[in-house]
Amino acid sequence: MTKFSDLNLNPKVLKAISEAGYETPTPIQAGAIPPALEGRDVLGIAQTGTGKTASFTLPMLSLLARGRARARMPRSLVLCPTRELAAQVAENFDTYSKHLKLTKALLIGGVSFKEQDRLIDKGVDVLIATPGRLLDHFERGKLLLTGVQVMVVDEADRMLDMGFIPDIERIFSLTPFTRQTFFFSATMAPEIERITNTFLSAPARIEVARQATASETIEQRVLMFKASRRDREASEKRRALRDLIESEGTGCTNAIIFCNRKTDVDICAKSLKKYGYDASPIHGDLDQSQRTKTLDSFRNGELRFLVASDVAARGLDVPAVSHVFNFDVPGHAEDYVHRIGRTGRAGRDGKAITICVPRDEKNFDAIEKLIQKEIPRIETEAKPEPRKSTRKKTTDKPGEEAQKPVEAAVEEKPRDAQPRKEKPRQDKPRNEPRSDESKAKNTRGRGRGGSDRGNDNKVVGMGDHLPSFIALSFDERRAG
């Protein structure tokens, strides 16, 4: 069996590996490190949780052990899709380079430019960055990439999903043609294949497992969930999640719960807290300091449930995650592999449970087609939520407080509902002259004297609304 001591790594790097407690490399490490030390480009394909980060960290440190960085010109560059993954790579460099005099800088969003500029000005051997923040520094004239000797693209397929491919192509154009390039990913989409063919030169392809496969140590199940009513789906689905957590009992020591949307992450975390579960959200809209604090709490065992968007699905190494719950079926089948890969790491056992509503069955079929495996079902029907009354109770508390709603209802009673007061029959003074309109009303259909006895003089066909002064002219003609 191959050991790290057989891989021709720098002695100081080997010492750090030994102190970290590792002796035997994983298959991807054993396959990628030798060609990397020979100066060849490397294309590594392996399922998540197999140690891809050390596959490029260890040879990079051995290659950079000699030499010195110049101001604003890093000697190596590692590109990561998310801040959390970049921070994790930085931790790996700290672990394995503690006996080497190498400097590093971490360029991620949510952190002050000033501190990052100060590190770059001193010169760094290893620059770890997300594409957006790296280009921000470059466009401000604070960074040159012409001194990059080794370039790494980690989680390349996630870069594609997040729309970073144009940025990656631009960054490649800013680096020397003679650089050594490492590409690592769990899946290889056609767009990624195009980039590797363009920017990698005769790479050593190391594929230690079939693309997009999940670890055999992960037990997968799915709950085919159907709500009692469409408008109650969200609340009943959250209740189903709580039932699943309870059914796992003490075996569920901690878990990552994945949602597709950031708003659902917040709602789900808030709901779990309401019912007494120790849960916190993590997604891209949160402040970086809060994201770091939440992730550290989860890693240290202080937080039991981490409710996350896919920002936490790729590359994050939390060694002992017992469960992964997919509150939503991911839109891309490859994301399912990355999500459940947060459990069952380094040979441990893990469980992954997915909640699938009817509208997500098409996406779930794509997942089973990708992993070439039928996931066992948990058939159940949702119990209807008890209907909540919207009427105010007025007898919950005795005494004066119980009467307040009734009093308020009386005060808010519309005017039309109040009993009408009889108006006095004479609203105006008797000596006030009447209007012409009222005079006309009183003389309708009457003769010259204004009494009802003049009906014989009524003009046929003119209607009862005939004014008296018109009728007068007709009466005069008849008299003549």
**Phi, psi (rounded to 5 degrees) for 286:** -80, 155
Based on the domain organization, do 83 and 117 belong to the same domain?
A: yes
CB 139 within 8 A of CB 162: no
Whole-number pLDDT of residue 69? 81
Torsion sign (Cα): 310, 314, 319, 324:
positive
CB 342 within 8 A of CB 316: yes
Residue 402 lies in a domain: no
Q: Pick from 363, 379, 395: which residue ends a domain?
A: 379
CA distance 355 to 241: 8
Residue 440 lies in a domain: yes
Residue 185 lies in a domain: yes
**Secondary structure (DSSP) of 92-142:** HHHHHSTTS---EEEE-TTS-HHHHHHHHHH--SEEEE-HHHHHHHHHTT-
CB 312 within 8 A of CB 306: yes
Q: Pick from 155, 181, 207: which residue ends a domain?
A: 207
pLDDT in tens, the chain (480 residues): 588 989 999 999 999 999 998 889 988 999 999 999 999 999 998 776 678 889 999 999 999 988 888 888 999 999 998 888 898 899 999 999 999 989 999 999 878 888 899 989 989 999 999 999 999 999 999 999 999 999 999 988 878 777 888 999 999 999 999 999 999 887 777 888 888 899 999 999 998 865 566 778 899 999 999 999 989 999 999 999 999 999 999 999 999 999 999 999 999 999 999 999 999 999 878 887 888 889 889 989 999 999 998 875 565 677 789 999 999 999 888 789 888 888 887 678 899 999 999 999 999 999 999 888 899 998 665 455 455 544 444 444 444 444 444 343 334 444 444 455 555 555 544 555 555 554 444 544 444 444 444 444 555 555 556 566 666 655 555 555
What is the amino acid identity at position 392? K
Based on the domain organization, do 314 and 224 belong to the same domain?
A: yes
CA distance 22 to 88: 18
CA distance 435 to 66: 112
**Phi, psi (rounded to 5 degrees) for 71:** -60, 135
**Secondary structure (DSSP) of 431-479:** TSPPPHHHHHHHTTT--TTSSGGGGGGPPTTS-TT--HHHHHHHHHHHH
And the tokens for 108? 């991620």
Q: Pick from 182, 207, 232: which residue ends a domain?
A: 207
Based on the domain organization, do 195 and 233 belong to the same domain?
A: no
Report the relative pairing of strands 204-207 and 255-258 from DSSP bridges: unpaired
Q: Which domain holds residue 451?
A: 436-479
Whole-number pLDDT of residue 217? 84
Based on the domain organization, do 255 and 222 belong to the same domain?
A: yes
Whole-number pLDDT of residue 436? 52
- Placement of tokens 């040159």 in the chain: 144
Based on the domain organization, do 13 and 77 belong to the same domain?
A: yes
Based on the domain organization, do 37 and 16 belong to the same domain?
A: yes
Q: Identify which of 219, 173, 228, 180 has the alpha carbon closest to the alpha carbon of residue 203.
A: 180
Based on the domain organization, do 233 and 144 belong to the same domain?
A: no
Please report, for the domain that includes residue 35, its CATH number.
3.40.50.300
Based on the domain organization, do 80 and 127 belong to the same domain?
A: yes
Based on the domain organization, do 188 and 226 belong to the same domain?
A: no
Based on the domain organization, do 75 and 45 belong to the same domain?
A: yes
Residue 416 lies in a domain: no
Residue 126 lies in a domain: yes
Based on the domain organization, do 171 and 284 belong to the same domain?
A: no
CA distance 466 to 454: 14
Report the relative pairing of strands 218-224 and 377-379 from DSSP bridges: parallel
CA distance 49 to 28: 11
Q: How many domains does the chain have?
A: 3
CB 203 within 8 A of CB 41: yes
And the tokens for 466? 């005939």
